[in-house]
């Protein structure tokens, strides 16, 4: 596995690979990798010649002071980076790209207007989503491997790719789960045993919806999910039921639908979603 920290080196090396006819699949992550990320790696390996895992801290970290961000970065390098590299080595990643974030985003990038419903709906920071485009240019990406778990970000990226006619093929990998059903997340390690049992209410609520043979009005579905999580002592952040194609809110489930739920359990936030082919 080749480890690259320089943006220029990554661009030149990936250009060489493309000139040799290799196809490149990239996986953009916020670091602190886990088994769920490695399923993305497996999907990338099955669809491209070269697999790149990139460590790209979310743009919102730049709302921190420079000192706070440097402290965050040093903590990653000291306590997490070696684990991430080891996991990528074990899973036969070809390139581990970990640029300095000040090199990536120290200077403000030019903002461009994109008329896109996904961005209007997305709760993700628009600048963070647009940063993926910079990554694609650096890594000469042919295939971007995206997780269903981060459905807002994933659908927003697909919307941008389509709106800007990027020659990047999106590949969505279904949400990967632990043995108890909880979706893999770097945040799961912060859950105590009791908190984890409570957090499973998010997954179980979505499963109840998935197992329905007919669907009541969306308001009723949302209320049911909300109450299930609340009864498990979770603080509900979002319950959304939207069209899977446009992400527009629905009143009735009468087409392919995504059901999204997130909740906080003693300051640990759990995200999950399901797709319904109604």
For the domain that residue 191 is a member of, what is the CATH number? Answer: 3.30.1300.10
Both 31 and 135 in one domain: the answer is yes
Predicted confidence band of residue 124 (pLDDT cuts 50, 70, 90):
very low
Whether residue 239 sits in one domain with residue 113: no
Whether residue 135 is contained in a domain is answered as yes
Q: Cβ neighbours of residue 95 under 8 Å, at least 6 residues apart?
A: 1, 2, 3, 4, 10, 13, 14, 50, 51, 52, 53
**CB of 16 within 8 A of CB of 94?**
no
Q: Domain ends where: 142, 173, 204?
A: 173
Count Cα atoms within 13 angstroms, Cβ side, for 70: 3
User: Which pair of tokens denotes residue 44?
Assistant: 């990338």
- CA atoms in the 13 A half-sphere facing the CB of 278: 25
User: Is residue 133 domain-shared with residue 196, that is, in the same domain?
Assistant: no
Instruction: Give the model confidence (pLDDT) of 154-200 as tens digits.
Output: 888 888 888 788 899 999 999 999 999 999 999 999 999 999 999 99
pLDDT range class, residue 45, cuts 50, 70, 90: very high
Range of the domain at 227: 186-277
pLDDT at site 60: 58
- 133 inside domain: yes
Residue 223 and residue 273 share a domain: yes
- The CATH number of the domain holding residue 22 is 3.40.50.620
Give me the number of domains the chain comprises. Answer: 2
Pair (205, 158) in one structural domain: no
Q: Residue 162 domain-assigned?
A: yes
Q: Are residues 169 and 197 in the same domain?
A: no
181 found inside a domain: no
Residues 196 and 222 in one domain: yes
* Model confidence, pTM: 0.87
pLDDT (mean) for 100-115:
59
> In this predicted structure, what is the pLDDT of residue 71?
82
Assess if residue 256 is contained within a domain: yes
Mean pLDDT (whole number) for 131-155 = 89
Boundary residue ending a domain (118, 152, 173): 173
Q: Report how far residue 61's alpha carbon sits from residue 63's, in angstroms, rounded to the nearest whole number.
A: 5
Same domain? 19 vs 111:
yes
User: Residue 204 domain-assigned?
Assistant: yes
Cβ atoms of residues 85 and 96 within 8 Å: yes
Two structure tokens written together for 41: 């790696």
Q: Is residue 179 part of a domain?
A: no
- Picking from 114, 148, 173, the residue at the C-terminal end of a domain is 173
In a domain, 180, yes or no: no
Do 135 and 203 lie in one domain? The reply is no
Are both 104 and 206 inside the same structural domain? Answer: no
Note whether 82 and 219 are same-domain residues.
Answer: no
167 and 121 housed in the same domain: yes
User: Judging by DSSP bridges, how do beta strands 24-29 and 2-4 pair with one another?
Assistant: unpaired
Task: Round to whole Å and give the CA distance between 202 and 198.
Answer: 8
Burial of 177 (0-12, 13-18, 19+ CB in 10 A): middle
Contact 104, 6 (CB under 8 A): no
């Amino acid at each position: 596995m080749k480890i690259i920290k320089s943006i220029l080196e990554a661009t030149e090396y990936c250009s060489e690979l493309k000139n040799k006819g290799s196809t490149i699949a990239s996986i953009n992550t916020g670091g602190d990798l886990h088994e769920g990320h490695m399923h993305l790696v497996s999907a990338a390996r099955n669809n491209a010649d070269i697999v790149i895992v990139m460590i790209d801290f979310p743009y919102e970290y730049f709302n921190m002071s420079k000192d706070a961000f440097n402290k965050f970065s040093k903590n990653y390098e000291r306590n997490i980076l070696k684990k991430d590299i080891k996991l990528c080595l074990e899973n036969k990643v070809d390139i581990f790209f970990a640029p300095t974030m000040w090199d990536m985003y120290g200077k403000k990038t030019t903002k461009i207007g994109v008329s896109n419903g996904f961005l209007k709906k997305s709760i993700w920071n628009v600048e963070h989503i647009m940063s993926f485009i910079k990554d694609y240019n650096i890594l000469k990406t042919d295939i971007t491997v995206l997780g269903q778990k981060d459905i807002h970000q994933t659908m927003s990226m697909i919307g941008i790719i389509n709106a800007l006619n990027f020659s990047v093929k999106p590949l969505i990998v279904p949400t990967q789960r632990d043995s108890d059903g909880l979706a893999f997340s770097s945040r799961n390690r912060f859950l105590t045993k009791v908190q984890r049992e409570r957090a499973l209410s998010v997954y179980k609520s979505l499963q109840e919806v998935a197992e329905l043979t007919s669907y009541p009005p969306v308001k009723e579905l949302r209320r049911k999910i909300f109450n299930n999580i609340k009864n498990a002592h979770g603080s509900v952040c979002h319950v959304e039921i939207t069209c899977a194609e446009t992400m527009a809110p629905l009143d009735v489930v009468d087409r392919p639908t995504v059901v999204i739920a997130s909740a906080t359990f003693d300051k640990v936030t759990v995200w999950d979603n399901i797709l319904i082919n109604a």
